[in-house]
């Protein structure tokens, strides 16, 4: 029985894309694999088919499918466990496909922060007495390591740690520095010339607020996840990179940004951004603000993790926010917040940001969007 021409052409196109990608980058499982090659290939192909619908190139779709399949294989200890994870992942990807546009926008309204939550979590709020200025009235909380912040002091060698980690031990949790595995109170493992500060008191001007706009022709106000990298300058924290992804997990804006003031510490251990990344960068904060004000409206839903810090370095005031650090609260309550990689491991069973060279803003933005998809799906189950 013949099938319609359009379906046939679609199938032929997919087969050509898939065979072309596999030929260029062969799918080779490890020797003595615990999962037969045919099974891995089957699910890799399903993942490839999904990503081909939303990615701009065949190579991008293949790369995402390969990462998805490999993460499942790395977690499983047997063929049955692999099949269980793979089936759940296929269902998750298909569910994500349904959670876009108007449907997702309406569902996200239940998770928007209130004005009180914005204030309590130290989001920049408009200063009623001065245009272009912001005020901060909530908890003081840093995105980097809180033990790394203090008021400026004269140049002097400081021995310190740059990463903190909570480890599970018998009877509770124990604090360790992940940079050297030392316990809290142990001598520092790195030398810094001076202490740095976030500059929140010094840089309250230059803020912009998203605008109320007429509804677009498709009546979609937009849903985006956002993540920023930042460095320490002579005037506090400044933006070095910003990434925005849409509800299809596609990057719509990603750029390095030139800090306005002298850089004291590139914060590479946390951000992954190096001096070389910014050497030839011409983009300024004002350039970024112009792009974002054009991309967003006051009704656009912005998603992220501890977005108050991102908004601070962007000098952006925006009210329509979903924040995963608040949606998945710390057991000790505010101002404590869980790390994004901890949420990914606990809820999505995925190891996130394992690279010692710092995090990736694209991965963080996508991770936040995926956590929101998970949250909506789980809450829907509970209501049934």
Residue 152 has pLDDT above 60, yes or no: no
Kindly tell me the burial class for residue 78, based on how many C-beta atoms sit within 10 Å of its own C-beta (0-12, 13-18, 19 or more).
exposed
What is the per-residue pLDDT across 325-346, written as a single tens digit (0 to 9) for each?
999 999 988 888 999 989 988 8
Contact criterion met (CB below 8 Å) for 297 and 210: yes
* Spatial CA neighbour of 204 closest among 149, 262, 125: 125
Higher pLDDT, 189 or 366: 366
Q: If pLDDT is split at 50, 70 and 90, which confidence band does 218 have?
A: low
Higher pLDDT, 24 or 60: 60
- Which tokens hold the place of 235? 């005037």
Range with the poorest average pLDDT among 65-79, 81-95, 123-137, 152-166: 152-166
Alpha helices in the chain (DSSP H): 5-24, 37-54, 58-75, 79-98, 101-108, 115-120, 268-271, 275-278, 285-295, 307-314, 324-327, 340-347, 361-383
Stated as kind and residue range, the H or E segment containing 231 is: strand 223-233
Mean pLDDT value of segment 293-317: 96
Domain spanning 102-140+205-383, CATH architecture = 2-Layer Sandwich (3.30)
- Which tokens hold the place of 188? 């520092």
According to DSSP, the β-strands at 223-233 and 301-304 are parallel
d(CA 277, CA 263): 13
Residue 7 has pLDDT above 50, yes or no: no
d(CA 122, CA 309): 9
* Spatial CA neighbour of 357 closest among 260, 245, 268: 268
Higher pLDDT, 208 or 148: 208
Residue 142 has pLDDT above 60, yes or no: no
| Percent of residues, the chain, with pLDDT higher than 70 | 69
| Percent of residues, the chain, with pLDDT higher than 90 | 37
What is the per-residue pLDDT across 262-286, written as a single tens digit (0 to 9) for each?
989 888 888 888 889 999 999 999 9
Contact criterion met (CB below 8 Å) for 263 and 380: no
Q: What residue segments make up the domains of the chain, in order of their start? A: 5-98, 102-140+205-383, 157-192
The reported pLDDT for the residue numbered 31 is: 54
Higher pLDDT, 161 or 318: 318
What is the per-residue pLDDT across 153-206, written as a single tens digit (0 to 9) for each?
333 344 444 455 545 444 444 455 555 555 545 555 555 555 454 555 556 889
**0.95 cut: is pTM over it?**
no
Residue 211 has pLDDT above 90, yes or no: yes
Mean pLDDT value of segment 94-100: 66
Range with the poorest average pLDDT among 69-78, 141-150, 249-258, 326-335: 141-150
Q: What are phi and psi of 321, to 5 degrees?
A: -130, 140
Q: From residue 167, how far is each of 60, 164, 189, 290 by CA, in Å?
A: 36, 10, 19, 43
The reported pLDDT for the residue numbered 203 is: 60
Higher pLDDT, 2 or 85: 85
Higher pLDDT, 217 or 151: 217
Mean pLDDT value of segment 91-116: 82
According to DSSP, the β-strands at 223-233 and 208-209 are unpaired
Contact criterion met (CB below 8 Å) for 145 and 162: yes
Average pLDDT value for the chain: 78
The reported pLDDT for the residue numbered 338 is: 93
The reported pLDDT for the residue numbered 67 is: 83
Q: What are phi and psi of 295, to 5 degrees?
A: -75, -40
| CB count in 10 Å sphere of residue 296 | 22
């Amino acid at each position: 029985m013949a099938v319609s021409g359009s379906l046939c052409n679609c199938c032929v196109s997919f087969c050509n894309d898939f065979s072309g990608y596999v030929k260029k980058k062969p799918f080779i499982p490890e020797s003595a694999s615990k999962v037969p090659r045919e099974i891995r290939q089957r699910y890799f192909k399903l993942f490839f088919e999904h990503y081909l619908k939303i990615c701009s190139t065949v190579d991008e779709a293949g790369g995402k499918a390969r990462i998805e399949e490999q993460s499942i294989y790395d977690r499983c200890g047997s063929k049955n466990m692999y099949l269980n994870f793979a089936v759940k992942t296929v269902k998750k990807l298909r569910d994500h496909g349904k959670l876009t546009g108007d449907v997702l926008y309406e569902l996200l309204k239940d998770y928007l922060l209130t004005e009180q939550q914005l204030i309590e979590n130290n989001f920049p709020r408009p200063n009623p007495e001065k245009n272009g200025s912001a005020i901060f009235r909530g908890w003081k909380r840093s995105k980097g390591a809180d033990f790394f912040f203090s008021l400026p002091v004269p140049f002097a060698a400081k021995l310190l740690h740059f990463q903190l980690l909570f480890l599970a031990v018998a009877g509770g949790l124990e604090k360790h520095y992940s940079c050297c595995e030392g316990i809290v109170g142990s001598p520092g493992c790195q030398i810094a010339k001076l202490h740095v500060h976030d500059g929140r008191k010094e840089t309250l001007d230059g803020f912009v607020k998203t605008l109320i706009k007429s509804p677009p022709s498709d009546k979609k106000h937009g849903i985006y996840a956002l993540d920023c990298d930042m460095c320490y300058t002579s005037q506090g924290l400044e933006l070095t990179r910003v990434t925005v992804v849409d509800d299809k997990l596609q990057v719509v804006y990603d750029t390095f940004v030139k800090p306005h003031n002298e850089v004291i510490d590139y914060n590479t251990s946390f951000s992954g951004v190096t001096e070389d990344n910014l050497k030839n960068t011409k983009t300024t904060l004002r350039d970024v603000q112009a792009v974002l004000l054009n991309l967003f409206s006051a009704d656009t839903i912005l998603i992220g993790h501890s977005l108050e810090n991102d908004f601070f370095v962007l000098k952006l005031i925006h009210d329509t926010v979903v924040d995963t650090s608040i949606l998945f609260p710390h057991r000790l309550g505010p101002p404590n917040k869980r790390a994004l990689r901890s949420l990914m491991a606990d809820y999505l069973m995925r190891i996130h940001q394992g690279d010692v060279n710092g995090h990736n803003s694209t991965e963080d933005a996508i991770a936040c969007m995926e956590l929101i998809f998970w949250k909506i799906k789980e809450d829907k189950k509970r209501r049934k």
